[in-house]
A and B are shown apart, each in its own frame.
Chain A
Amino acid sequence: MAKKGWDEFEIGAMLRTFDGKIDNIAATQQEDRAYSQNSSYTASVADWRLIKPVFNKDYCIDCQFCWIYCPDVSIISRDKKLVGVDMDHCKGCGICVEVCPTNPKSLLMFPEQADEESVIANWPKKDEEEA
């Protein structure tokens, strides 16, 4: 964000989430909303993360548990189908993995630098004991 002088911004310890007026926000997807530069939606905090969740859609049953439990609204779901993780805002807490009920899990944590294709190729098999 541009570093403005003391006389160049609105008074008060106050920030606007959107540029201009909003209308029917509940029916507008995040990517279609006019988030302002002050909204955390436009800021990447990916560098807070040390380990990352990888999503393997082969096992996902679209139960939406990860979407409900994610404390940073970083699970992207469309038409009740999990489509991925918002890697600009995910902090790598691993809660999505904890709550995932499938066997094997559809989300697993890997080091930040892990290659997604190769970890999916080597995804753990079904745990027969747990089943």
Chain B
Amino acid sequence: MAFDKMELKDIEVWDGNYAAAQAMRQAQVDVVAAYPITPSTPIVEGYAKFLADGYIEGEFVMVESEHAAMSACIGAAAAGGRVATATSSQGLALMSETLYQASGMRLPIVLNLVNRALASPLNVNGDHSDMYMIRDSGWIQFDAFCPQEAYDLNLIAFKVSEDHDIRLPAIVNQDGFMTSHTAQGVKTLSDDAAYGFVGEYKPMNDMLDFEHPVTHGVQTEEDWHFEHKARQHNDLMTKVMPKIQTVFKDFEKLTGRKYTPVEKYDMDDADVCVVCLGTSVETAREVATEMRAKGIKAGVIGLRVIRPFPFFEIAEALKNVKAIAALDRSSPNGAAGMLFNEIAGALFNTGTKALLSGFVYGLGGRDLTKAHLVALFNELQANADAGKVTTKLQQFIGVRGPKLAFL
């Protein structure tokens, strides 16, 4: 192929955006169609620059909206190319219609979603409203807690998504600014090693196979639609998680970096535990270690895979815990939080007597401080000691004004 390879140091100082762009370069993505939006802009900008500088053989399609960006990605994926893009927040909201098209058409596309709050009020900072909004869209969802993981999970996402048993698009989440714009040391793979891991793109039902013409995106009514959706759900429930586990193992063999769908930290003997996503996982781990020094057996669970939801893995991880906090960085707007509900669903019908409480925090980029987490672990310990949830089931952390608690 006519492109230059890039010499990388073993450890480069990259932010999450640049790490994702480098992974897209190393995977030699054929088509990126994008409508840049803060804070994800540098990802597609990075791809465009690598392309212009001759490091990629591909195509960058500038479009008029995020709806068009994902539509062009769908067309390119149906044609038979390796495809990726990036977006955030409002951009994802505009894409949402086409996200369901992509997954229903079983097209492997990797979307870097740099998590950002949804307006109104308008806000460019990180929370998980966008991630939560499209959780039923049929995409596989990974979550990176730091730039290293944004890099690794991109490579992993292509390999899972493009597998012919899977053929489902995948989102790699990273926290807006906290990950996307925070430079850290990132252990790199050489171009050859990274491409060797992801592998050559293997087309399936591609429109450029002129000897086998196909129509993509057909209409079905009540006589066929249900079967198509059932097939997609079946594959998400039965095929994707085993494939992710296999790819995680392959990646560990190659790099020594180990990933699991449910990332456990000090969970072996934990009495109390926080379950959360994104950069909060790293803060919670630090505080959990400090709590152990104070005699509280604290642990942390970070979800590496959000869809398909690791139902049994999380039930197993939480089975001996006495008090659990589910941290949701998105306003549920009239319900319990997503993680609260999913964890409650996973634990119900099991023998556990764990106490579960939910917390809404960090909206619009509001910091989750170590002090917040210290108070949270202490409260969980109080619940464990009392043998019941001593507060309301849903509380808000870090918001000004009178204390908010519901349910």
Contact = CB atoms under 8 A, between A and B. Distances in A.
A11 B232 CA distance: 8
B352 interface: no
Interface centre among B107, B167, B215, B235 (most CB of A within 10 A): B215
Contacts, number: 60
A12 B223 contact: no
A4 B107 CA distance: 22
B200 interface: no
Given A3-B223, A21-B212, A22-B211, A14 B218 contact: yes
Interface string A12-42: 1111111001110000000000000000000
Interface string B232-269: 10110000000000000000000000000000000000
A7 interface: yes
A21 B212 CA distance: 5
B258 to A, nearest CB: 31
Contact of B218 (A3, A5, A15): A15
B205 A14 contact: yes
Interface string B211-231: 111111110100100111011
Contact of A15 (B104, B215, B226, B235): B215
Contacts of A13: 104-106, 216-218, 220, 228
Given A16-B212, A21-B212, A11 B231 contact: yes
Contacts of B232: 11
Interface residues of B, number: 24
A6 B235 contact: no
Contacts of A22: 211-213
Nearest to A18: B213
Contact of A16 (B213, B217, B228, B230): B213
A127 interface: no
A21 B214 CA distance: 11
Contacts of A4: 227
Given A3-B223, A6-B230, A12 B211 contact: no
A21 B215 contact: no
A7 B228 CA distance: 9
Nearest to B223: A3
B106 A12 contact: yes
A10 interface: yes
A5 B227 contact: yes
A14 B215 contact: yes
A12 B234 contact: no
Contacts of B235: 11
A102 B231 CA distance: 55
B214 A15 contact: yes
A16 to B, nearest CB: 6
B105 A12 contact: yes
Contacts of B211: 21-23
Interface in B41-85: none
Nearest to A16: B214
A21 B209 CA distance: 10
A46 B107 CA distance: 35
B283 to A, nearest CB: 40
Interface in A91-128: none
A14 B231 contact: no
Contacts of A9: 227, 231
A42 to B, nearest CB: 14
28 contacts: A4-B227, A5-B227, A6-B226, A6-B228, A6-B230, A7-B231, A7-B234, A9-B227, A11-B106, A11-B167, A11-B232, A11-B235, A12-B205, A12-B216, A13-B104, A13-B216, A13-B228, A14-B205, A14-B214, A14-B215, A14-B217, A17-B213, A17-B215, A18-B213, A21-B211, A22-B211, A22-B212, A23-B211
Interface of A: 3-7, 9-18, 21-23
Interface of B: 104-107, 167, 205, 211-218, 220, 223, 226-228, 230-232, 234-235
